[in-house]
Structure formats: C-alpha cells, structure tokens
Amino acid sequence: MAWPELDENLLRSLVAANFQVDSERVAFRRIPSGKFNRSYYVELDGQQMVLRIAPLPDTPVLFYEKDMMRQEPVVHQIVRERTDCPVAAILATDFTRTRIPSDYLFMERLPGVAASELPVGRSMWDRVLEQLGRCLRQVHEITGDKYGYVGPHRPMEPQDNWVDAFRVMWGKLVQQLVDMKAYTPDQGAWLVEALESRLRYFDPNVPASLLHMDVWSQNILLDESGNLTGLVDWDRALWGDPEIEYAVLDYCGISEPAFWRGYGRQRDNSTAARVRHHFYFLYEHQKYILIRGLRNGRWDAAMRYRDECWALAQSWFAT
C-alpha cells in the first residue's frame, strides 16, 4: 500500500523529534522521482536535508526489500569512509515505528539533480559514466566476510560463500513468484533446478564485494557541467560477486565503453561468465513481475514480464 499525501504537521513532528529547531520554520518539497520511498527536500534554518520515509508495512515487497532502509546508515558510513564516491551523510534515523508506522531517516542533501532530469548529451554522458566507473570500482574493492543481504534488515541468513548466497537469493525470489501464482510450482521447481545443475559455473571463492545494485539515471546526481555529485539509494546493497552488479548495469544502460574505461577492468567473457550473466540478468528482470503486479496493480504488464522471463529461461537453460 502506498503512502497517502502526508500532512505537513506530521512531517514537522518528525523534524522536531530529531532536531532542536523551530519546526514551524521548516519547509518541505516532495521529491517526485522516488518510486519506492516517499522522499522530501527539507529546509530548516538554511540547512538542506532529505527526509526518506519507507513504504507502509503492508506494501508488497521483494524479499530483500523488507525493512531495507535499516541497512543504509551502515552502508553509507562504509562507503564514505573507504571511497571518495559522493554519498550523503545520514543525519538521523527512526526505525521504531512509534511516530509513524514506517521507518524513516534524514540525510544531507547532496548538490546536483538526477541525470534522468537533465538534458545530457553524448559527450557529457560519457564523462559521467567514466566518473561512475571509477566510483563503483572503489566500492567493489570494499569486501566483507559474509555474502548476500547481510544488513540489519536480515532478509536472508548471511552465507559463507557466494554460491550458497545466490542459491538462497534465487530460491527466495522464485518462491515469491510461485506464491503470487506468476509461475506454477512446476515452473518454479524447474528454475531452481536450472541453477542447481549449473552451480559449477559459479566461483564460491569470489570476494564478498559491496554492491550498490540500483545504479541507473535516477540515482545518479550531476551538476550542470556533468560532474558526478552523488550516488543515492543504497538500500538494496548486497555483498557478493561484482558480476551481478554488471548485469544490473547492463539492464539499466550503464555498462558502456566509457563506464569500463573509468572502472579500469575488463569483464570476463568466458562461457562460465555468460551462464552466470543469464542468471544475474533474470534475477533483475524477474523482480518486475512482482513490482508491476502486486505492488502497482498492473497485471497485464506483470504477465508480459513473466512471459519474457520464462521465454529467456527456456532459451538459456532448456539444454
């Protein structure tokens, strides 16, 4: 269920609960680009902030989206401390759900606007992608000791290797799609077996790299000269194989030559990498079955995604 339009008095009460200011002097402006969280620009005493409010608890979510805002403070801190990637400082959080029935947080407002809102020409976009490549290379060099969605939202049990983590992730996503009757139980079992029979193509020893997993034009902030001023929406962050991030970059039109120049590393084009890419790409593509259907109520679109995903799986894994 989506939030209704929120009363400014309620928003002021959230500010007053977290900052020692006169809440009557606070101004709010809705950020229209947010598709999951409800977000506002907040101005108080000349300070610019962003208020992000998670969806209501009964909103249909993918298994890893449940309470995922709760991992943002830790992820932001790690990236700010260990890279020069422009990431906002988290200023205050409230995950108690006592003032409102959802989690919310305040973060600093970074300069710039979303790339999706700017007329970005080819040469400027190449410059942006090169900067973004350098940024993500630094992020991917941050490694942990557990794999999967390991934040405090705990959508899965953290695993000791990437193979086991991806098996859990794939199985949970497929099961959600079976539960919503997008796939039949037999189709779900077939998709799980498709992965089980190809686990030899996955490296259990790949480092647990920090991955953003939602890099697209709306989450890339730029100034008018095409300088990268922010990378936002880290709530879907994952620890694992950078190749699954590459699949998201492919999906979102980011993995162009300029990006790879900035990234400074060539991707693996072996047969094993192509098999992994098929699973990683479908992991991204299949999520829209639930998003379009259960969340948006657009079942015609959801079924188109379902048919596309099933056709791709059949073409890639039938033999």
For residue 42, the domain's CATH number is 3.30.200.20
Q: What is the mean pLDDT of residues 126-130?
A: 95
Which of 111, 126, 156 terminates a domain? The answer is: 111
Give residue 105's pLDDT: 98
Better-scored residue on pLDDT, 287 or 119: 287
Specify the number of domains making up the chain: 2
pLDDT of residue 2: 57
* Cα distances (angstroms) measured from residue 278 to each of 173, 202, 316: 15, 12, 7
Question: Which residues form the domain of 73?
Answer: 8-111
For residue 224, what pLDDT is reported?
85
Does one domain contain both 131 and 178?
yes
pLDDT over threshold 70, residue 4: no
Q: How far is CA 114 from CA 78, 151, 251, 258, in A?
A: 23, 26, 18, 19
pLDDT attached to residue 171: 98
Last residue of a domain, one of 95, 111, 127: 111
Among 109-113, 115-119, 212-216, 295-299, the minimum mean pLDDT is found in: 115-119
Task: Burial-class residue 183 by CB neighbours within 10 Å (0-12, 13-18, 19+).
Answer: buried
| Residue 179 shares a structural domain with residue 307 | yes
Using one digit for the tens of pLDDT, what is the confidence trace for 36-89?
999 999 998 778 999 999 999 999 999 999 999 999 999 999 999 999 999 999
Of 111, 138, 163, the position where a domain reaches its end is 111
Tens-digit pLDDT profile for residues 161-211: 999 999 999 999 999 999 999 999 999 999 999 999 999 999 988 999 999
Q: Which residues contact 128 (CB under 8 A, 6 or more apart)?
A: 115, 120, 220, 222, 226, 228
Q: What is the mean pLDDT of residues 15-29?
A: 85
Shared domain for 119 and 267, answered yes or no, is yes
Q: Are 92 and 160 found together in one domain?
A: no
155, 66 Cβ separation under 8 angstroms: yes
**254-268 pLDDT, tens per residue?**
999 999 999 999 899
**Using 50, 70 and 90 to split pLDDT, how confident is the model at 319?**
confident
Tell me, yes or no, whether 73 and 55 share the same domain: yes
Q: Any residues with CB less than 8 A from the CB of 204 and at least 6 apart, and which?
A: 161, 162, 163, 164
Q: Where residue 252 sits, what CATH number does that domain have?
A: 3.90.1200.10
Do 102 and 190 fall within a single domain? no
